Structure 1
Amino acid sequence: MMSTLFRLPRNAALLVFLLALIVVAPSASGKGSAYIVELVFDGILLAGVYSIGPGKHRWPFLILTVVTLAVRWGDHLAGIWYLDVGALSLTVAWLVYAVSIIIANLFSRTDVDVDTILGAVVTYLLVTVAFTLVFEIIEIQEPGSFSGIGDGGGPDRRQLTGSMMYLSLVCITTMGFGDIVPVSDIARPIAVLEGVFGQLYLAVMIARLVGLHITGRRDD
């Protein structure tokens, strides 16, 4: 069983937790659900450490992961406003760091395998989560930045993550349903930025993977 575990693609566990977050976050409403979402987030953080693997980034990334976990749980246990924003900001920093490392690894590869494809998917979802948290921070700092949701600082605070996750997925895939809309001066350009990133990322990454695949077949 252990040998099977170690043969799993490095990014598989991270992908599972990211998909779990997309499923769980929108349904979080009560306090118990909030803890479930946090446990899924913890899984993402820990799986991220495994995905990064050995290398020069290992220890800085591990330290950032431990600090992020501590602040996130401090926020849940203390319920202090500045810890909430601090935990979200620190998690965004963790996500940006993880994305930069994974993308660097992807573009240093000379072949395409299952882990390469999973890495490309994982990066896409990590960026989605990062924008989700940025949207949360904006709504907490400036309530009313998004129409179609409740007050981010009010009783619907636990549902804010789910609403912002939904909005982030709509933006990055450019589906544009229009039920949740950014209306503030800071929210609108960030939503547009996510949509632009989503389209450019797909174009560049598909071209990269196809190019590697063609090169690999020629070498064979």
Structure 2
Amino acid sequence: MHHLNGFSPHKYEPALNERDKNLFLLLSILFHNLIYPMSTGDGWHPIFFYMVFCSIFVIGVYTLTTHQWERIVVVISSIVVFFAGLINSYTPGTFAMPVLYTFGTIYHLTMLIVLVRYIFEAKRILIEVILAAASLYLVIGSTFTAIYGLIEYLEPGSFAVASGTALGWQQLLYYSYVTLTTLGYGDITPVKSFAQSLSSFEAVIGVLYTVILLPRFITLYEVADRIHDDA
């Protein structure tokens, strides 16, 4: 009898719940990317946003791994991000911003590590692995957001905004995905060395991921699916 564990699709036949877990994670991240402007609002909007944001990776980590240290780190970092995010939303410009960026980086890196291991320990490329790979791509973009925020906080003026508006993490999230997908609209520009080097590094990762890695996963999945159908 097959024994199902936290990484069951990697060694045995895929379980339906594994696909559902990864689909939920992917849809949750996409939902977060649609509602993040709520973090700049007033009333209940920031509370709702950070409740969503600070639960996504906690659920993701708990469902995709049984490693206790990762579970502990993601819970602690999510709690800090929740309160720092609310303080930053309601009273911007306080000490909460560097705390938000620092623990936001830890929060994202924990999910990133879990996804990388989940994907690359796979013995077969199944649909849940494809979904995890898509989630990883989105997590890479949001991870760079927090790092860009730290750079801008430690070295103000690292990024220039064409409109002249203040640069918050919301604008940096937009900038990060524009950079990752190599669209490069030009409305936000890295002007200092660390910002430029990190931006170019993210762009390279985005190209390599979409041109080499993700298509390879899809091809391997199609081959495995074809072999299964012929058997």
- With the shorter chain as reference, the TM-score category is 0.7 to 0.9
Out of 39, 51, 57, the position equivalent to 1:45 is 57
In structure 2, the CA distance between the partners of 1:26 and 1:192, relative to structure 1 (3 Å rule), is: farther
Post-superposition CA distance 1:160-215 (Å, at most 9, x none): 22211110111000011111111121111111111100111221232133134325
1:19 and 2:25 matched: no
Report how far residue 71 of structure 1 moved: 1.5
SS in 1 for 2:193: coil
Q: Unpaired segments of 5 or more residues in structure 1?
A: 153-159
Normalised by the length of structure 1, the TM-score is 0.81
Q: How far off is 1:27 after superposition?
A: 5.3
TM-score, L = length of structure 2: 0.77
Aligned-partner Cα distance in 2 for 1:162–1:7: 31
Contact 1:71 1:83 in 2 (8 A): no
Deviation at 1:82, TM superposition (A): 4.3
- 1:93-121 residue CA offsets vs partner (Å, 9 max, x unmatched): 23223222212221222333331111011
Within a 5 Å distance, the mapping from 1:1-220 to structure 2 comes to 6=17, 9-26=20-37, 28-32=39-43, 33-54=45-66, 57=67, 59-76=68-85, 81-148=94-161, 150-152=165-167, 160-202=168-210, 203-215=212-224, 217-218=226-227, 220=231
CA-based RMSD: 2.5
- CA spacing shift, 1:91–1:51, aligned 2, 3 Å: farther
Deviation at 1:77, TM superposition (A): 5.8
**Residues 108, 44 of structure 1: alpha-carbon distance in 2 compared, 3 angstrom cutoff:** same
* AA matched with 1:195: A
- Structure 2: how far apart are the matches of 1:77 and 1:23? 18
Distance, in Å, in 1 between the alignment partners of 2:156 and 2:30 is 28
Shift of 1:15: 1.4
Identity of matched residues, % = 25
Could you tell me which runs of 5 or more consecutive residues in structure 2 were left unpaired when the two chains were aligned.
1-15
Aligned length: 206
- What SS is found at the alignment partner of 1:31? coil
Instruction: Give the Cα separation in 1 of the matches to 2:201 and 2:27.
Output: 26
For residue 10 of structure 1, give the secondary structure of its aligned residue in structure 2: helix
- The match for 2:6 is none
Q: Which shows bigger deviation, 199-208 or 115-124?
A: 199-208
Change (3 A) 1:208 1:115: closer
The SS at the match of 2:110 is: helix
Displaced runs of 4 or more, over 4 A: 5-8, 76-83
